[in-house]
Amino acid sequence: MTNQNLRTAAQLAPIVERVHGGHHPELTRVREITHELQQSYSAARRPELFAELREVTDNYAIPPGVCGAFEATYQALEQFDRELAA
């Protein structure tokens, strides 16, 4: 199961990591988790992966001074997380 939110996050995560990774090293793990969520074999691990995402992103808190792509990545991941939990 993938949806538009996950596809958006997966497209943006590498860009956001490249631009902001120097100040936000957690973005490497965000990119890795996002990629893994796209893989069909990871469906059973989704609860664990989203728990880790919530931890490394401080519950998808958007730091001040970041670009719109950073915000869009976290918002897309948070929305997908909520949809799966519903």
pLDDT for the residue numbered 66: 94
Count of beta carbons in the 10 Å neighbourhood of residue 51:
11
Average pLDDT, the chain: 92
- Asked whether residue 2 carries a pLDDT value surpassing 60, the answer given is no
Please give the DSSP secondary-structure letter assigned to residue 43: G
pLDDT tens-place string over residues 5-44:
999 999 999 999 999 999 999 999 999 999 999 887 778 8
Residue that is written with structure tokens 């880790």 in the block = 52
pLDDT for the residue numbered 1: 45
Percent with pLDDT over 90 in the chain? 81
Question: Would you say the C-alpha torsion 23, 7, 45, 79 has a positive or negative sign?
Answer: positive
Q: What is the pTM of this model?
A: 0.91
pLDDT for the residue numbered 23: 94
